[in-house]
């Protein structure tokens, strides 16, 4: 079946530090890959996505590249801010039974950025 | 992006009562809606998938008689937690998508507390 393995947290960084959150996946077919962010008390927001191999998704300074050869989709940001403190979820969308594509989530990584 | 509105954002109910949570797609027609629950510091677990006009498909281990899902229109799905117990306290999130799109849009989530 499909699965997403995500770097365990929590991760604590100082402002302006470099961020990497690792994500690897197992899926049949050709999944689309996503990073979602969840701020305290809120629902999930799509941060970025990539739909095919070698695609790079980017948003708000965050980037992730779809690597089919290593089945990875690591999230990076060159300089984090306090406002980036949140839980980050890696997810994939692949064909499942029926016509709808379900999302499979990783366990989430709590990021705290200190001033 | 498309907007999914979930209501209420927070609800407290007494043990034994039922609670209804609404999920609406505001600016698109959602042929499929998903319901997730999230326990503290854990990832989202898919509970069920509902397609407009048909019965929901529940994930293994989810009681369909306890978690009633109705998807009567292309813009509204409801989750009713019947005879709620304290262990049903959780964060419930819906997502909605069109049949062909790989991207799902999430509601803000509902924090249910059963006392």
DSSP B59-113: PTT--TTTEEEEEEETTEEEEEE-S--GGG-EEEEEEEE-SS-S--EE---EEEE
How does residue A93 score in pLDDT terms, banded at 50, 70 and 90?
confident
Contact B103 A108 (CB under 8 A): no
Nearest to A3 by CA among A34, A20, A28, A21: A28
Q: Measure in Å the smallest separation between the Cα of B6 and chain A Cα atoms.
A: 9
User: What confidence tens digit (pLDDT) does each residue in B67-78 have?
Assistant: 999 988 889 999
Say whether residue B105 is in contact with chain A using an 8 A CB cutoff.
yes
Instruction: Specify the higher pLDDT residue, A42 or A95.
Output: A42
Which residue stretches of chain B have pLDDT < 50? Answer: none
Complete edge-to-edge strand list for the sheet that includes strand A75-77: A19-21, A75-77, A62-65, A56-59
Say whether residue B96 is in contact with chain A using an 8 A CB cutoff.
no
Structure token pair of residue B23:
């999920």
pLDDT at residue A73, as a whole number: 98
Minimum Cα–Cα distance from B93: chain A residue? A43
Say whether residue B93 is in contact with chain A using an 8 A CB cutoff.
yes
Whole-angstrom distance, CA of residue B72 vs CA of residue B59: 20
User: What confidence tens digit (pLDDT) does each residue in A26-81 have?
Assistant: 988 788 899 999 888 777 889 999 989 999 999 999 999 999 999 999 999 999 99
Task: Tell me which residues of chain A, numbers 48 to 87, contact chain B at a CB-CB cutoff of 8 Å.
Answer: 49, 51
Alpha-carbon distance values, B71 to A18, A72, B41, B44 (Å): 44, 35, 29, 21
Whole-angstrom distance, CA of residue B47 vs CA of residue B64: 9
How does residue A99 score in pLDDT terms, banded at 50, 70 and 90?
very low
- Which among B42, B51, B95 has the least Cβ separation from residue A107? B42
Whole-angstrom distance, CA of residue B26 vs CA of residue A4: 30
Residue bearing tokens 């590249």? A65
DSSP A65-110: E-BTTTTB--EEESS--GGG-EEEEEEEEEE-SSSSEEEEE---EE
Task: Tell me which residues of chain A, numbers 3 to 32, contact chain B at a CB-CB cutoff of 8 Å.
Answer: 32
How does residue A22 score in pLDDT terms, banded at 50, 70 and 90?
very high
Say whether residue B103 is in contact with chain A using an 8 A CB cutoff.
yes
Whole-angstrom distance, CA of residue A107 vs CA of residue B49: 20
Probe site for chain B from A4, A5, A43, A111 (most B CB atoms < 10 A): A43
């Amino acid at each position: 079946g499909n699965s997403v393995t995500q770097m365990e947290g929590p991760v604590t960084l100082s402002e302006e530090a470099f961020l990497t959150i690792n994500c690897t996946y197992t899926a049949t077919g050709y999944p689309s890959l996503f990073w979602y962010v969840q701020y305290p008390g809120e629902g999930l927001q799509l941060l970025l996505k990539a739909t095919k191999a070698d695609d790079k998704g980017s948003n708000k300074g965050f980037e992730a590249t779809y690597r089919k050869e290593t089945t990875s989709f690591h999230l990076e940001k060159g300089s984090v801010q306090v406002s980036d403190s949140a839980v980050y979820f890696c997810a994939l969308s692949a064909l499942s039974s029926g016509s709808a594509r379900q999302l499979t989530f990783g366990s989430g990584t709590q990021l705290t950025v200190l001033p | 992006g498309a907007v999914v509105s979930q209501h209420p954002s927070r609800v407290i109910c007494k043990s034994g009562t039922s609670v209804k949570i609404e999920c609406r797609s505001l600016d698109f027609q959602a042929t499929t809606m998903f319901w997730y629950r999230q326990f503290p510091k854990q990832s989202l677990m898919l509970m069920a998938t509902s397609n407009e006009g048909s019965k929901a498909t529940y994930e293994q281990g989810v009681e369909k008689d306890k978690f009633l899902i109705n998807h009567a229109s292309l813009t509204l799905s409801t989750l009713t937690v019947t005879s709620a117990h304290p262990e049903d306290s959780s964060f419930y999130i819906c997502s909605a998508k069109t049949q062909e799109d790989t991207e799902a849009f999430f509601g803000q989530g509902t924090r249910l507390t059963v006392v």
